[in-house]
Amino acid sequence: MKKLFRLIVLLSIINCQLSISSAYADEGMWLPAQIEGRVKDMRKKGFKLKAADLYSAEKPSLSDAIVLFGGGCTGAIVSPEGLLLTNHHCGYGQIQKHSSVEHDYLTNGFWAANRTQELPNPGLEVRIMIRMENVTEAVAAGRRDETIAAAEQGGRYKADIKPLYYGNEQWMWVYEVFTDVRLVAAPPSSIGKFGGDTDNWVWPRHTGDFSVFRIYASADGSNRPAAYSPDNVPYRPSKFFTIATDGTKEGDFTFVYGFPGTTREYVTGDAVDYIVERSNPMKIALRTLRLDIIKEASEADRATRIAYAARQAGIANSWKKWQGESWGLERRGTVARKRAEEAEFARWAASRPEYAHLLDSLAAGYDRWDDVLYLNELYNETFRAMEFTDSEIDRRTNAALLRGFVEWWPTSVARTPEIIPHVIDSLGGYEGAARHPKALEVLRTEVWSALEIPRVGSFAAIPDIVRHYTPYMRALREYQPDRLFYPDANLTLRIAYGAVSGYRYEDAVWHEPVTTIDGVMAKDNPEIYDYDIPAKLRELYTAKEYGRWTTVVDGRRTVPVCFIASNHTSGGNSGSPILNARGELLGLNFDRTWPGTMSDLEFDPAICRNISVDIRYVMFTIEKVGGAGWLIDEMTFNN
């Protein structure tokens, strides 16, 4: 019996190790400066370029055609005159600001007929990376500020130093920052946001998620950034992307080049357990309250829909992402998997005094701070989400959130602050309190004070935990010397590679990797805003007037719309160029499959897929729907 037990344990360990190594297939967000070490593997999978074609501090490379858009998305430069493609949802805030009932660009789209009609966007900036550099030794020597100042050259550039591998390395990124960025074109939301919240994070997808901007530089011919002026001229990039018109098929090599936001691949099972069991359920429930109220009001009034469109999209995006994340993590058994791996690590570390107690220290830290983080998140999702206006929608939302704060108060903490029931009673219950925005605003401050806890945004900001991850990360790299550890994402430029690939969604359900305009028409429904496509698109489909942007599927001529691939992406990768083996633009990344959102914590090669809009659908929409062929004339195509 003991022998059988030992055999079962051994097999589980072997299975765990095999799972770890197999996950390396397409996992990883690699630094461009370190991509030389991955090129051999990339070439085996079909890559045709050299490392210097991807990134070089000395000569033009593909990294020069990529921008950090608006501080949270990515964009791709596609012409020698600064034309920029990103996602519709990345430019959504700018499109909304230019929209009104009279000029409803959200519903009808916006297509500049020439450059004089391109619209300025105060406050919007894009960053182009000049170089990146390992400055670990300089930071350790106390020269952080000196290093940044030298790189910025008196304000010519902007430099950031960020830790990688939980502080075991320090890297600097140097950027050129452009602030004159103009809206050039955007499809109607019924194309750019087709499917709305219903289709968000799911596959199959039929969304033309793109918008077009242009970067402008100083009028003096220096090609340098300048504040907005009507005299400014289009930026001249040292590199821009060639458009691929030959499309994709199952198995084709692809890579995504962009700015992924945040991943936590190396956290312990305790962190994942908190997310699945405590954090996500609470946040999902509270955001559901807000979305239901906004949806009801938006369906009843067009002006309300326009006014609340961006807020609704922002609330819904994470709301649905968290649902898919929890689903994927539970499906994968990530908590149990991590704890099994940690048990093996603990056996290795037991004979190494500097590492022997790391896991115990991390576990104690999570126990100590679990309720603190939960209360921070509860406060953020309720009181900090309140809007103190006289709007009926905001009043109803505030009442729901006030009630939600009390209902989701953790049982592990004694009681809610006494001020809450006192104020609620004095103002006539939840609804009564919500009708007194000034009182609620005061209550928000008072509640935070009464909580008497530190402000933390995540476990990653809690010193008791973070200080143990630095040696833990160092120990993991010693424990698995043959494993290539990529650094967690932190909104810095990365390369992730994989292949066009379908996946098994559930038992007996296989998802093909490509969708077409036929699927758009199958979903078309004039009775539902998110599925009511423009009449022009229906006319083009009926006449099969597709131009050069066609493909053949099952013997019929059609237009490709979206495709999925096994590239490791995250928030921030929205708008990232997805490229073929020759570095040509296949499309724009805009989403992940729903269970694949777990990839911020663990990458599952069987189900984690990124979703991109096919560049041919982008071109088709620009030319045929928008009538903006002059933009296509600026671009370069591979055939």
**Cross-strand bridge partners of residue 74:** 68
DSSP 275: I
**CA distances (Å), origin 345, targets 164, 290, 477:** 21, 43, 11
How does strand 66-69 pair with strand 73-77?
antiparallel
Beta strand ranges found along 218-345 (DSSP E): 233-234, 253-258
What is the rounded CA–CA span in Å between residue 194 and residue 266? 35
CA distance 32 to 549: 32
In the residue annotation, 53 being an active-site residue is answered as: no
Which of 26, 64, 79, 89 is the catalytic position? Answer: 89
Q: Single out the residue of 4, 58, 56 nearest to residue 32, CA to CA.
A: 56
Peptide bond into 204 cis (omega under 30): yes
Which one of the listed residues 63, 218, 501, 574 is annotated catalytic?
574
Compute CA 397 distance to the chain's CA centroid, rounded to the nearest angstrom: 27
Beta strands in 99-209, from DSSP E residues, in sequence order: 110-111, 119-120, 126-134, 158-164, 169-178, 181-186
Active site residue 220: no
Q: Are 291 and 393 in contact (CB under 8 A)?
A: no
Spatial separation of the C-alpha atoms in residues 27 and 191, rounded to whole Å? 31
CA dist., res. 209 & res. 186, Å (int): 9
Provide CB contacts within 8 A for 47, sequence distance 6+: 39, 253, 255, 497, 581
Of residues 64, 199, 209, 488, which has the active-site annotation?
A: 209
Q: CA-to-CA distance for 570 and 171, rounded, in angstroms?
A: 20
Beta pairing, strands 494-499 & 503-506? unpaired
Nearest partner of 325 among 608, 30, 612, judged by Cα = 608
Rounded-to-integer distance, Cα 338 and Cα 74, Å: 32
Max CA pair span of the chain: 84
Residues 115 and 545: their CA atoms lie apart, in Å, by: 27
Residue of 351, 375, 198 lying closest to 278 (CA atoms): 375
Helices (H) and strands (E) in the chain, counts: 23, 22
Catalytic residue list contains 88: no
* Residues with catalytic function: 89, 209, 574
